[in-house]
Each structure stands twice: as C-alpha cells, then as structure tokens.
Amino acid sequence: MNKIISFVKRKIFRINRDRWNHQYNKGLWDGLKAMDELARFSVIVGYVKFLKPTQNGHGPHILEIGCGEGLLQQRLQSQNYDRFVGTDISDLAIQKAAADAGDGKCTYLVADMDTYKPDGQFDMVIFNEVIYYSRHPLKTLQRLATYLKPDGLLIVTINDHKHSTELWEAIKDGFSLLDEATTITSKGKCVCKVLRG
C-alpha cells in the first residue's frame, strides 16, 4: 500500500519533496559528481574566491539555494567562507550534504526556495541550476536578494535549453549584470551570471 501511495504522490499529485527524494534515492542526480559538471562548478568557485575572497581571516557568508547533496560547498572548501547555508527541497539530499559537510561552518536545511526566509544576511546567494524550478523565478530572486549585504551578489547558472533565453530576459530586468561566463562540455552549454540586486 505504501508503494502505491508513494507512486500516486510522485507521479499523479506531483508533491515536489516526494519527487525529489525519490530521484535522490534512485541516484538520478549522481551525474552532478561527473567530470562534465566540473566546469560549471569551477566557474562558481572562481567567482566566489575572486569577488569575495577571505581577507584577514574572514570569509564570506554564502547561501546556496537548491544545494542538493552539497557538492558546491565541498568544492569550495571551508577556508573560503565563514558561513555556508545550503537549502534544498529534498530531505535525502540535505541529509547527505550535512553528513559530508566536514566543518562547523555549514548549515543545511530542507526548504522550498519560493517560501524560504533566511536567517541573517549574506555576501552571496547562489542559484546553481535551480532557478527554473521556482514557480516565479524573478520574484524568488528579488525576494532572496533582499537578504544580501549592501555589496552582496547573486550567482545564477542556467543550462541552455528552449526556455533559457526567455528566463534570462525576465531576470535581466530585475538586476544589473556584473559578469558572465559560458561553459561548454560534452553535456551542453551553461551560462553563469553574477548579478547585483
């Protein structure tokens, strides 16, 4: 009976948390650990380290929305931040991220990006391949940008797909562009933009 209820929730009612937990449980997101994802993650890490470097022993406060299993935080390494908060809608992904965090500067939370209210302010808010899962991408970006410190930045990556140009057009009206980089791998093209709120 539980298998039937789970199937109905995931496939018919589309309860997001159940769907994402199912996908993480089946290993459907393990591909994010592959070499063809390295370029995208490396660009984000490079921007963080260049734009918000650790100075005088103090690093940036970073919020990652849709962090999955915490792969960005692991690649960033703890000497490059003072505080790292990662959120994801999947309980299973957050459990894995928390188990692999490796330092006391990380907090991982189960949260829906469309309703999450962060605690405190951040130097950077990162949306790595997740903004198109928001019900209202521009509103979500604008709302979470209010949690940036005065000189804070957003980093947004979007894979090239049939709606990506339309999505970038909607986003550009709400933010000014500081820089952008495009990576091309065997998997496809990904654009990363650094935005000011």
| Whole-angstrom distance, CA of residue 132 vs CA of residue 14 | 16
Domains and CATH numbers, the chain: 33-196 (3.40.50.150)
The encoded tokens of residue 130 equal 């997740």
Does residue 117 surpass a pLDDT of 80?
yes
Distance of CA 12 to the CA centre of its chain: 27
Query: Which pTM value belongs to this model?
Result: 0.86
- For 127-178, the pLDDT digits (tens) are 999 998 899 999 999 999 999 999 999 999 999 888 889 989 988 888 999 9
Q: What is the mean pLDDT of residues 170-191?
A: 91
What is the spatial order of strands in the sheet that 176-185 belongs to? 106-110, 83-88, 61-65, 122-128, 148-159, 188-196, 176-185
| Whole-angstrom distance, CA of residue 168 vs CA of residue 109 | 27
- For 2-35, the pLDDT digits (tens) are 555 555 444 444 457 777 767 667 765 665 667 7
pLDDT at 186: 86
Q: What is the mean pLDDT of residues 55-79?
A: 94
Reduced to 3 states (helix: H, G, I; strand: E, B; else coil), residue 149 is strand
Element (DSSP H or E) covering residue 176: strand 176-185
pLDDT higher at 54 or 23: 54
pLDDT at 44: 97
